[in-house]
Amino acid sequence: MSLLRFEKVTREIGTFVILDAIEAAIASGDRIGLVGPNGAGKTTLLRIAAGIDEPDLGSVSLKRGLTLGLLAQEAHFDVAFMAAPDLRSAVRSAAADLLDLAVRLRELEHAHRVEEPLYAELQHRFEVLGGYTLDQRIDETLSGLGFTRDEWTKPPGALSGGEQTRAALARLVIADPDLMLLDEPTNHLDLGALEWLEERLRRRNGALLVASHDRAFLDATVDRVWELRDRRLTVFRGDYAAYHRQRIERDARLDKDVSTQAEQIVREQELVQRYRSHRKYAKMHEHEARLARLQEARIEAPKAARKLRLPTASLVGAGGPSRSGEIVVRAENLVVGYLPRFRQAHPADSVESGAASGPEAAATPPAVPAEPLAVARVPFLAAQRGDRIGIVGPNGAGKTTLLRTIAGDLPPLDGLLTIGMGVSIGYLAQLRDAAIPGETVLGALTSTISITEGEARSYLARFLFRGDDTLKEVRMLSGGERSRLELALLGIMPANLLLLDEPTNHLDIPAREAIEAFMAGSPATLLVVSHDRRLLDTVCDRLWVVDDGLAAAFDGGYKAWRVAVAAGWTVASAIEADALRLRTGGPRGGTTQAGVAAGARPVKAGAVSVKKAAGTAKPVPGAKPASRARLPKLSKDAYRRQRGVVDAELTRLGLRKNHLELALGDPAIAANFVELRRVTSELADVGARLEAAEEAWLELEDRAP
């Protein structure tokens, strides 16, 4: 039996039809992904399913006694939730039935009625519903969704908008309704919280309908896809990847059918004309009837969706950005964070410090500097020309702070940050609340650069602003529209280093795929902060991981990093291994230490001059490694796990070494001094790392169980 059924549901806004005769049903245990471009009606359908909005035509049927919960994109809480004394209590209130049962059980206990059948019945029901594990589940949910224990005691009103949305999600997880409706639940989650939520949704027995643009999330959580397209809903079986294949096949088949039918219509029209000219009216009428049947059953070609088309060249500078130096960004012993801000001193402070007294002093306490806030320390990171690096880590770890420091928005608190020679930076910020010049979309562009209105409209059309869309007020733009406008403004000037902070936020799947294609084909060096795992997998071949106040490089993509984390890799252990390799003459951080190109721009920390660190130690040719100390034997599981990691590293480095040795024999590289130096430097780096991996293998064999 269906939990929920849509029967010819139609929804209109004015004369515009959003949903047209939608027919669909959700059965118990169904896990359904709702996909479609922005504006297709996904949120509208979810609100109709939740009973918040009513359809203009048709009906929605619910199973009697169905419990249903909706997580909206922008959280709207009831008064009771916001009035809760702390976050944990607010989330705990979702289990209202269990809390009522607990009260009744306590009342029976106080009345000394524990021997009665009613008490046994209520206790059994309390146990079946998970009453005895409620507090444990609440703690697990809050931790899984990224809340620290310090935040559990905050009142809901003191949380940010994103934190309130996560709190609403935690409350919904604890409520565990028969049908869970989620509208973009991944918007405010970091990678760890995403993986936790995926696992939690896979384990629950209730039905799920989730609208999301996160393709990896859909692949992990759904077994059926509803597609909203051209006001209609189509059902596909399988996860997002299966849906994508089926959609491509259906579109190709439909295009072929449309083409075949068009050819048949043209052929019938020619035959009608021929028999008319030959006055063979019987034959003419026969083919006229065929033509009428074809036209009545005409197959409509799918409307071509408007696609984001990021230009390969900037609006200014037809030749594109100049070639940067080999080292684009280099950070050593860098501390990123926020400089001291002046705060008003307490009146008592001025008295104790001997400050001048009087009415003015009492009215305006003196300003004193607060302490600088250090967010993360970077022992060493470097990006070479052409690198595509993803910056990952939990929310609040310092990813955006690091990117803003590289962009020049924030000064370094300590250490050395060097921007390479010839580097021109393009920066897309995550915080989209900053003012954009111009009252309209068109004005935002023309006030930034002097071009004609026709040129501006042509350029904006690539970012899906056409016709009257260009006259929309900037303050009235949706999240996706604002993201597209900022991408347009980013592409005005040529840049060979792109700093992108959550570039796919608020964008639908076609726009995300367009950005991925642009990034994959761009010659610019990329530093990308993102929680979009598909983008990280598709575009980034290296990672910078920020966690626990530290940042370290990981030489591999997202999937390889998650495997390494499961095997025990951490930022702290990577930095420790780096330091050990430095002491023994190995390479640093898995990144070539070719030095900073001539003319590079060092950025000094604060107002204090920071000297350039001494050059890195290099391996001494022919030097023998120090004798290994006897270490305790490993358990079988630990040995097998570590052996797998070391073997994979040996294989990868061996393949890379072979590839670089072949590249040295390429005449094109041999004739290019810059490329030859890069390949030679990387080959030395890989060779040293291969020696270190072999040493680790020998040490591991000594510790074999």
Residue 510 resides in a domain: yes
- State both tokens at 386: 């052409």
- State both tokens at 73: 């994109």
Share of the chain above pLDDT 70, in %: 82
Is 699 found in the same domain as 638?
A: yes
682: domain CATH number is 1.10.287
Concatenate the DSSP letters of all residues of 261-306 into one string: HHHHHHHHHHHHHHHHHTT-HHHHHHHHHHHHHHHHTPPPPPPPPP
Is 399 found in the same domain as 268?
A: no
Is 219 found in the same domain as 71?
A: yes
User: 572, 596, 620 — which closes off a domain?
Assistant: 596
Work out the mean pLDDT of the chain and round it to a whole number: 80
Is 147 found in the same domain as 207?
A: yes
Is 528 found in the same domain as 504?
A: yes
Residue 618 resides in a domain: no
Residue 687 resides in a domain: yes
Is 267 found in the same domain as 182?
A: no
Is 642 found in the same domain as 551?
A: no
Residue 9 resides in a domain: yes
| Rounded Cα–Cα distance for residues 370 and 245 (Å) | 57
- State both tokens at 136: 């444990």
Residue 408 resides in a domain: yes
What Å distances lie between residue 688 and 436, 557, 625, 657, CA to CA? 49, 21, 12, 11
pLDDT tens digits for 554-589?
Answer: 998 898 998 898 888 999 988 888 777 766 655 555
Which of 273-287, 604-618, 671-685 shows the lowest per-residue confidence on average (mean pLDDT)?
A: 604-618
Q: Which pLDDT score, from 0 to 100, does residue 406 have? A: 93
**Mean pLDDT of the region 457-463:** 82
Is 405 found in the same domain as 272?
A: no
Length of the chain: 705
Question: Hey, how many other C-beta atoms are within 10 angstroms of the C-beta on 347?
Answer: 15
What Å distances lie between residue 401 and 338, 411, 545, CA to CA? 8, 10, 13
pLDDT band at 356 (very low <50, low <70, confident <90, very high): very low
For residue 42, pLDDT over 50 is answered with: yes
Q: Which pLDDT score, from 0 to 100, does residue 442 have? A: 84
Question: Hey, how many other C-beta atoms are within 10 angstroms of the C-beta on 540?
Answer: 24
What Å distances lie between residue 25 and 65, 299, 364, 638, CA to CA? 17, 26, 66, 49
Residue 234 resides in a domain: yes
Where does residue 345 rank: exposed (0-12), middle (13-18), buried (19+ CB within 10 A)? Answer: middle
Is 56 found in the same domain as 135?
A: yes
558: domain CATH number is 3.40.50.300
Tokens 């900053």, residue?
A: 434
pLDDT band at 357 (very low <50, low <70, confident <90, very high): very low
Residue 525 resides in a domain: yes
Show the domain range for 645. 630-705
Residue 350 resides in a domain: no
Is 227 found in the same domain as 262?
A: no
Phi, psi for 552 (deg, rounded to 5) = -145, 155
User: 244, 267, 282 — which closes off a domain?
Assistant: 244
The C-alpha angle 599, 602, 608, rounded to 5 degrees, equals: 145
pLDDT tens digits for 378-434?
Answer: 999 999 988 999 999 988 889 999 999 998 888 999 899 988 888 888 888 876 555
User: 549, 571, 596 — which closes off a domain?
Assistant: 596
Dihedral sign from CA coordinates of 517, 523, 524, 529: positive
Q: Which pLDDT score, from 0 to 100, does residue 221 have? A: 93
- State both tokens at 663: 């590249």
If one counts the domains in the chain, the total is: 4
Is 156 found in the same domain as 203?
A: yes
Is 698 found in the same domain as 639?
A: yes
DSSP lists the bridge partners of residue 343 as: 368
Rounded CA Rg of the chain = 31
Q: Could you tell me which residue, 479 or 110, shows the higher pLDDT?
A: 110
For residue 619, pLDDT over 70 is answered with: no
Strand, helix or coil at 175? Answer: helix
